[in-house]
């Protein structure tokens, strides 16, 4: 009886695990990278873009459901987040003209790849994962 229960628990775990994997493969992001990316997001990006990615009206643009993320090449987005960005920008129909500082040096290419993967596959975005190699290529000095 006990053995049978154990067996069914194992079977259940296997199903859950394979669902998680399918989910990760479907969105091109591995769960460990997403967890790390979320940590970096909550530690750094959320100050301006808010925990739910909604930003702050008129001041910080949303990264949630962002038509700017959708329309902009990945390599440009990587450069803007790493090196900083300022000047007029329109996101979801609203104009912003603020300053995003460069990402602090303490974040390495892996942190950057993970946080962008998290943002690009969360909050209603479907831009897909970002690899460490893509970050190195876009920002060779990092
Ligand atoms: C100090 C505040 C601040 C922090 C911290 C910050 N941003 Fe931004 N971000 C901005 C501002 C301001 C803009 C718009 C810049 C402009 O007006 O050109 C922006 C623009 C963006 C954009 C393009 C526009 C959009 O909303 O789709 C993305 C993507 C983005 N940030 C992602 C990130 C990520 C990822 C992080 C963390 C690694 C981060 N930002 C950290 C302030 C910030």
- For 60, the token pair is 């910080």
Span from the CA of 130 to the centroid of ligand 1 (angstroms): 17
Q: Which of 21-30, 63-72, 87-96, 107-116 has the lowest mean pLDDT?
A: 21-30
CATH number of 29-138: 1.10.760.10
Cβ contacts of 101 within 8 Å, gap of 6 or more: 84
Neighbouring-strand partners of residue 96: 89
- For 95, the token pair is 């104009």
* Cβ of residue 63 lying under 6 Å from some atom of ligand 1: yes
CB-CB contact of 82 with 135 (8 Å): yes
**The tokens 């500082």 sit on which residue?**
101
* Cβ of residue 114 lying under 6 Å from some atom of ligand 1: no
- For 98, the token pair is 């603020």
DSSP code per residue over 64-115: TT-HHHHHS-HHHHHHHHHH-EES-EEETTEEE--EEPPPPTTS-HHHHHHH
Work out the average pLDDT over 11-15.
51
- For 50, the token pair is 């808010």
Mutate to test the pocket of ligand 1, among 41, 49, 64, 90 (most ligand atoms within 8 A of CB): 49
Atom of ligand 1 nearest to the CA of 59: 12
Span from the CA of 60 to the centroid of ligand 1 (angstroms): 7
Q: Whole-angstrom Cα distance, residue 133 to residue 56?
A: 32
Domain coordinates in residue numbering, the chain: 29-138
Q: Does this model's pTM top 0.75?
A: yes
pLDDT digits (tens, 9 = 90+) for 49-92: 999 999 999 999 999 999 999 999 999 999 999 999 999 999 99
* Cβ of residue 78 lying under 6 Å from some atom of ligand 1: no
Cβ contacts of 107 within 8 Å, gap of 6 or more: 40, 44, 115
């Amino acid at each position: 009886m006990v053995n049978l229960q154990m067996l069914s628990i194992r079977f259940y775990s296997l199903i859950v695990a394979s669902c998680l994997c399918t989910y990760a493969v479907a969105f091109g992001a591995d769960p460990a990278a997403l967890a790390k990316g979320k940590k970096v997001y909550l530690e750094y990006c959320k100050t301006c873009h808010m925990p739910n990615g909604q930003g702050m009206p008129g001041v910080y643009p949303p990264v949630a459901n962002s038509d700017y993320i959708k329309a902009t090449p990945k390599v440009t987005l990587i450069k803007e987040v790493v090196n900083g960005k300022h000047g007029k920008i329109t996101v979801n129909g609203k104009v912003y003209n603020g300053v995003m500082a460069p990402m602090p040096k303490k974040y390495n290419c892996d942190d950057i790849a993970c946080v962008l993967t998290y943002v690009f596959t969360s909050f209603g975005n479907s831009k897909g994962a970002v690899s460490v190699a893509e970050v190195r290529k876009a920002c060779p000095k990092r």
